[in-house]
Amino acid sequence: MNRKLFRYIGFEDFINLTINNKDRFVRPSSWDDKYEGYLFSHMETPEDVRQIVSEMYHKLCPRNYYAIPDNYFRMWHSKWFTYAQC
């Protein structure tokens, strides 16, 4: 199959990719589009953390007391140690 793949990138990133052969990966929490890193940006205040844990408790893993801290830790770890492109 002959298919083409398109992607939108900033001019500086395009120059860096074509001339220096380097691609840029950043933490999703630092993306300009706040809908992309929405959950990561809502882990700042204690009220936000309570809301996330409450949603996990009632909807994601109902009454599974062991899975809630494990899932929250994985999410927190992803916020700081995962790099990607928007």
pLDDT digits (tens, 9 = 90+) for 12-46: 888 888 898 888 888 877 777 767 777 787 788 89
Please state the pTM of the whole predicted model.
0.62
Mapping DSSP to helix (H, G, I), strand (E, B) and coil, where does residue 84 land? Answer: strand
Query: Residue 63: its pLDDT value, please?
Result: 77
Tokens of 14: 């395009």
Q: Find out whether 34 and 86 touch, Cβ atoms under 8 Å.
A: no
| Start-to-end C-alpha separation, the chain | 26
